[in-house]
Amino acid sequence: MAPASVPAATAATPAARGQGRRRLLVSGAVLVAVGLAVSTAGSGPLADALGDALYAALVWVLLALVLPRWGAPAVTLTAITVCWGIELAQLTGLPAAATAAWAPARYVLGTTFTPSDLVAYAVGAVAAGVAARGRGVGTTQLGGAAPGGGRAVTPRPPTGGPGSGSRRGDY
């Protein structure tokens, strides 16, 4: 048995991880629906900025699903990096060519570089990270950091090594 000073395991149970994944999937579906609504019904700089922020939040959700052991800060920085990379790729003209070949690609790659989009992406990714941490996603629910910012600790039984006075399996 583990000493009393060792905290109980704080790693997420399979049920908690499943709940966290369901939250992410629902969040992703909502972000897609709202993002498409903003893209089709909205116009002007405010709609563009909101669409970009929603896009970055969706990238955050997708990364959290693919990288479940990463904490919210790491997912946030990665989401910003991915979004900025896609935005900077627009300087090459490749996303515009992809969109000309297949129109739905514009929802993923965009077409025209706009510096203000970089700010909107950062805002969206940070907002997603803050919202997720507030709900426990990107922390212990997906196997990341334990409450209080530390890593989850799983107590291990004694191994019964030489001179320990215990037999293997006697725990």
- 147-165 pLDDT, tens digit each: 444 444 455 555 555 555 5
**Per-residue pLDDT at 148:** 45
- Does residue 99 form part of some domain? yes
Q: Which residues contact 92 (CB under 8 A, 6 or more apart)?
A: none
Evaluate whether residue 166 is within a structural domain: no
Encode pLDDT of 44-66 as tens digits: 999 999 999 999 999 999 999 99
Q: What's this model's pTM, rounded to 2 decimal places?
A: 0.69
Residue 147 DSSP class: G
The per-residue pLDDT for 39 is 87
Residue 76 lies in a domain: yes
Total tally of structural domains belonging to the chain: 1
Which DSSP helix (H) or strand (E) runs through 116?
helix 115-134
> Is 153 a domain residue?
no
Domain coverage including residue 125 = 14-146
